[in-house]
Amino acid sequence: MSRTTKKKYVVEEVLNKYEITAENQKIVKVLRSCGNNLHEITTPEGETFLVSMPTKFRKHIWIKRGDFVVIDPITEGVKVKGEIAQILLKDQIKYFKDQGIWPDTFAENNSTKNERRHSSNSDDELFVNTNRPYVEFSSSSSSEEEEDEEN
């Protein structure tokens, strides 16, 4: 199978797979990428460990911090305790929430983030260009102007 055809089937599987096939699979959240196709994740119970990305996803599908994935636990693993079985997208997350499969701890985290986005409309979130020096402009007071005129 050519690389392009393989990528086509992998992307199709990621986009259209809406079920958890095994009972021991877990929905987890990605905390960070550790390199070498290893990712640190957290379970709904709060346990953190490393999982590996299988070769079928490598160079075809990218995951980032905060994404949700389904893993197959590896019982004999010491450091790496699981392998990614499925990468969840927004539609799949919504489907799992509707089915009641979604863990409650992750549902709370998503709702608080959305509330923060909608409630804060302050100027503190505006982009600040750090490549330019900050120059503070101040208007001169009337006493300074009078001193300049006298001299």
CATH class of 3-105: mainly beta
**Cα 111 to Cα 52: distance, rounded to the nearest angstrom:** 28
pLDDT reading at 103 higher than 80: yes
- What is the residue extent of each domain of the chain? 3-105
Q: What is the pLDDT of residues 38-66, one digit of tens each?
A: 999 999 999 999 999 999 888 888 899 99
Position 112 scores a pLDDT of 45
3-state secondary structure 17-32: CCCCCCCCCEEEEEEE
pTM value?
Answer: 0.68
Q: What is the pLDDT of residues 26-42, one digit of tens each?
A: 999 999 999 899 999 99
